[in-house]
Structure 1
Amino acid sequence: MPGVLGVLARRAAPVLRGHVVAQRASIYTRPPKEKIGSFETAVGLGMFSLIILGPSGWILAHLEDYKKKE
């Protein structure tokens, strides 16, 4: 009996799963319309660093103020 159920389960599995949606990636391999200069790259990286590291640096710089129990 378990063998018959296994065969039925294998045949019914694709029907129960339904249709599979194929996903496509949108990859463009063309060159950029405008070249980004080194100054713009440096400003962008600087801003990202400031945004990410700024708040944690502020907290670490004022850690003693946060430890006070008043």
Structure 2
Amino acid sequence: MSGLVKAAAARVAPAMRTGIITQRASLYTRPAKEKLGTAETAIGLGMFSLAILGPSGWILAHLEEYKKKE
């Protein structure tokens, strides 16, 4: 068992000695080419709400059916 621990420590030790690894994302953002309108914003928020709340609403609406053991 100690041989396995020594082998694992020998592989991990160099990585631990190098210090903190920094990661940089190459992400560039700009303002949108066209502004979103009120209707587009409302449709987008409505779809997100439906996607998140729809399944839980379905389950709660059919809870009595799920309770029945047939």
Percent identical: 70
Query: What are the equivalent positions in structure 2 for 1:1-70 lying under 5 Å apart?
Result: 17-18=17-18, 20-24=20-24, 26=27, 28=29, 30-70=30-70
Structure 1 length normalisation: TM-score?
0.63
- Name the CA distance, whole Å, in 2 between partners of 1:65 and 1:54: 17
The size of the alignment, in residue pairs, is: 57
TM-score, normalised on structure 2?
0.63
Distance, in Å, in 2 between the alignment partners of 1:34 and 1:64 is 48
